[in-house]
Amino acid sequence: MKDLFPKKQVPLNSNRSPYKSKTTFELRIIIILGILAMTLVAIWSANRHQKAQTATNRQSSISLERPRFFSRNKPENLALDQRLSLGERILVKADNNPAKQSAVAKYASGMFYDAQRQFRDSLTVFPNDPEALIYLNNSYAAAEPNTVTIGVSVPIGGSLDVSQEILRGVAQAQNEINQEGGVNLNGKRSLVQIQVANDDNYPETAREIATNFINNPQIIGVIGHNSSDSSIAAAPIYEKAGLVMVSPTSVAREISHAGDYIFRTTPSSRALASTLAEYAANTIHRKKVAICNDSASPASTSFQEEFSLTLFELGGEIVASNCDFASGGFNPDAAISEAIANGAETLLVIPSVNNINQALEVARANRNRLPILGNHSMYTYETLNVGQDDINGLVLPVAWHPAVTKGSDFNQGAIKLWGMEGSWRTAMAYDAAKAIFAGLDLAENRQQLRQVLSNPGFNSQGATGKVEFLPSGDRKMEATLVKVQSGSASGTGYDFVPISSGN
């Protein structure tokens, strides 16, 4: 304690002046008050720490090993040009390295041949970096007289893993078409450039990017957006301007009515949800289903309504449970208890891309008491890595699984480029790009591209076979059911494995 005060002390003798005695008395008072103040601070600090630790302990019982990988919050305040790149800036910082930094600097300076060399060097460091491969192909195209540009919007700040999955599909398709000499646009072979955009899965940012795309005359088609929220927000802008948008991942039913220029390569929520409902009612014979959904998400709402409709038609029923991921009072333990008390035979979790972690909290609270069904959003590495035994046996519908097309050209190409076959998002993004490229062989402008894709006789060859569109712009395609089982493919101890309707 003495170190808190001056080293010099008042001499202890009987000849001290009254002034010096008073000073000593005041000093003692100050010391006492100081000790009291420090004691109070210590008590307050200890109490605060105890409360924080209690909150942490309470949170640890339901929290995930990683932070939320999606967010509805407004994204980082970046200038729009900082969200766009043909190769002049790095958007995916996770795969940053000196060669890639040098490459984007060369690209920005118009030194495309030097950029090519540096992007190739970057890919030797990170061979499964789709952004670098896209920019490498862009630098090849930039050095040629004839090019065509496609925009792709992904949620790099909202979910890097999902963005990488989508970009790998786009990069693979671009790499293939450019190695073949490009698309045949207006009777000329034109190499394809991809302008990458980061919309963070935030609707307002998606609208800004859509406005930028429609005002760029070089862009003749768009691949995106990821979330249904973002696609629904951006669709009117593309529709009004007459620019084709093909979403590889948005399933909400509103997409079906968004306009003549709006397409998607993933099955709709109806196709996905109906397949899952039929599995619940007819295969595992669980007709009393409790649902956890996200009332603020169009995709989640669409899936819930389509699932419920099919389940009702099959003689099933929805069991009451207060489980809404969008609710401030969301309580996974209470939701599970209510569902079981009301006679639920199985549980369906329908998270949007914003709250997969909350679905995993529900799975943890369930403690394997009820079989769990899920939607396509649950197909992520995080689900396996964080969910572990809590989601063992989880069944969900997706657009594609690599085992379904094992040995195909797409599978082999993906393994060659990325060292893996990829997810359904990779395949759907590849199909979106291939459809646009095939359409450009028959179109001369934006409007004609829409006409080609809308033609009943149009089809292109994709990862999953033929890509054909209904008059609504929806994909003519069925869903594939997958189940979480123990395995070694993902490196988490669990894998998504395709199942047949009879299993």
Same domain membership, residue 296 and residue 150: no
**Which residues fall within 8 angstroms of residue 185, CB to CB, at 6 or more apart?**
146, 148, 440, 441, 443, 444
Regarding beta strands 317-319 and 288-293, do their DSSP bridges make them parallel or antiparallel, or are they unpaired?
parallel
Average pLDDT over residues 46-61: 35
Average pLDDT over residues 63-82: 55
Answer yes or no: is 87 within a domain.
yes
Answer yes or no: is 48 within a domain.
no
Report whether 401 contacts 480 (CB < 8 A). yes
Scanning the structure block, which residue is given the tokens 């766009």? Answer: 84
Is a pLDDT exceeding 80 seen at residue 71?
Answer: no
Taking the C-alpha atoms of residue 163 and residue 44, their distance in angstroms, rounded to an integer, is 45
Scanning the structure block, which residue is given the tokens 């406005």? Answer: 211
Same domain membership, residue 311 and residue 388: yes
Residue range 358-406, pLDDT digits in tens: 999 999 999 999 999 999 999 999 999 999 999 999 999 999 999 999 9
Same domain membership, residue 91 and residue 228: yes
Other CB atoms within 10 A of residue 124 CB? 10
- Of residues 42 and 74, more confidence is placed in 74
Same domain membership, residue 339 and residue 276: yes
Same domain membership, residue 259 and residue 280: no
Same domain membership, residue 438 and residue 342: no
Residue range 203-234, pLDDT digits in tens: 999 999 999 999 999 999 999 999 999 999 99
Average pLDDT over residues 91-108: 96
Taking the C-alpha atoms of residue 321 and residue 347, their distance in angstroms, rounded to an integer, is 10
Residue range 408-465, pLDDT digits in tens: 999 999 999 999 999 999 999 999 999 999 999 999 899 999 999 999 999 999 998 9
Q: What is the DSSP string of 275-334?
A: HHHHIIIIIS---EEEEEE-TT-HHHHHHHHHHHHHHHHTT-EEEP---BTT-TT--HHH
In 80-109, which positions are buried (b, 16+ CB within 10 angstroms) versus exposed (e)? eeebbbbbbbbbbeebbbebbebbbebbee
Is a pLDDT exceeding 60 seen at residue 56?
Answer: no
| pLDDT of amino acid 28 | 43
Same domain membership, residue 351 and residue 216: no
| pLDDT of amino acid 51 | 37
The pLDDT-based confidence of 75 (bands split at 50, 70, 90) is: low
Q: Residue 432 is which amino acid?
A: A
Taking the C-alpha atoms of residue 229 and residue 43, their distance in angstroms, rounded to an integer, is 48
Question: What tokens appear for 212 in the block?
Answer: 């930028």
| Domain interval for residue 339 | 270-398+481-498
| Integer angstrom CA distances of residue 134 from 87, 91, 167, 439 | 8, 12, 8, 20
Same domain membership, residue 250 and residue 101: yes
Number of domains comprising the chain: 3
* Percentage above 70 pLDDT, the chain: 84
Scanning the structure block, which residue is given the tokens 């009702």? Answer: 312
| pLDDT of amino acid 355 | 85
Q: Residue 490 is which amino acid?
A: S
Residue range 236-281, pLDDT digits in tens: 999 999 999 999 999 999 999 999 999 999 999 999 999 999 999 9
| pLDDT of amino acid 354 | 74
Same domain membership, residue 313 and residue 342: yes
Residue range 137-162, pLDDT digits in tens: 999 999 999 999 999 999 998 889 99
Taking the C-alpha atoms of residue 31 and residue 37, their distance in angstroms, rounded to an integer, is 10
Report whether 323 contacts 335 (CB < 8 A). yes
